[in-house]
Structure 1
């Protein structure tokens, strides 16, 4: 996965990018908790994906 990170002139992330990441993490968390319509399709490895995503985001910041 590749994210199009918009950055300011000094190389820091724009505030809306943090918001985007927060929303994505929130969505993943809800999916893992099984709060979506397709409860039966929740796969165990999504937890690992969320962890990987958070680690990946942390390393890019």
Structure 2
């Protein structure tokens, strides 16, 4: 069964700000009921990992240039 968490819980667990997490507010990662947002823990972790891998790759390209 999927585990969903509130924005505040996701902030505490990941260390990212609300604004950063809300950039991942898309179907498959979040569920909205009215104004309430819940994050799918596994999908959020995967999206954050992919995002940080891309940033690290870009930084590596800049350093190696």
TM-score of the aligned structures, taking structure 2 as reference length: 0.38
Which is bigger in relative contact order (C-alpha 8 A, separation at least 6)? 2
Structure with the bigger percentage of helix: 1
TM-score of the aligned structures, taking structure 1 as reference length: 0.40
Structure with the bigger percentage of strand: 2
